[in-house]
Copies of this chain bind each other. A is one copy, B any other.
Amino acid sequence: MRAEFQADLAIVSELLVTMAEQARDAMNRATEALLAADQTDAEEVVHADLELDLGYQSVEEKVYDLLARQAPVASDLRLLVTALHTAADLERMGDLAVHVAQVCLRRLPSAAVPEELQPVIRDMAAVSDAMAAKVAESLRHSNASLAGELERDDDQVDQLNRQLFALMLGAAWRHGVAETIDGAMLARWYERYADHAVNAGRHVVYLVTGEVPPRSTVDAAP
């Protein structure tokens, strides 16, 4: 029974790795589409989101199937619920990539991001990508210490966030309301993407070590 449970859990873990890679790919392509005003790429991000939605459903089905067949003990149940939470975070990261792609689509044929914001958006995307990669790697290799690094990475995203708002609030900002709204929303999408990566990392720490890391109470609002 126990060996079978472990084998089933490994399948769930595989599904989560795939979801993490998809969430990572989605934000990378959304960022490229955004900065290059590329309609095809942006539309593909929107369509590909279905995969992550189906991934969530697969994890859910597998978990409930396991529950029905195996009547696992309490600590194993907690693992399964944690896997569900992780899947929900990864699915949400995909949604946030879709939001970024939608900003791109809404401003076509123009580029949504004014030149002076491009470097900070690129930096936020790079840190977010590294974070999603750590989630995937920590899941793949049951690596809790890698997952534990995510909190610090998130501080970087928060700092870049403040930098982006400072640029828009500075005297040199000459853009209109639409660009300002887009800038604020984009900052938010990357920040939430990183927050969900942190959450996913916390879940991985639990999945690997059985210890519950403290939960932050509120995300940082801009």
Given A67-B74, A77-B67, A173-B177, answer yes or no on A53-B217 (Cβ-Cβ < 8 Å). yes
Chain B: minimal CB distance from A63 (Å) = 8
Q: Which residue of B lies closest to A63 (CB)?
A: B81
Given A64-B78, A74-B64, A188-B185, answer yes or no on A218-B178 (Cβ-Cβ < 8 Å). no
Chain A residues 163-222 with CB under 8 Å of chain B are: 165, 168-169, 173, 177-178, 180-181, 184-185, 188, 215, 217-219, 221-222
Q: Which of B68, B78, B99, B221 contacts A221 (CB 8 A)?
A: B99
Chain B: minimal CB distance from A190 (Å) = 13
Distance of A112 Cα from B94 Cα, bound (Å): 32
Asked if residues A168 and B181 are in contact (CB atoms below 8 Å), the reply is yes
Chain B hits for A37, CB < 8 A: none
Chain B: minimal CB distance from A23 (Å) = 13
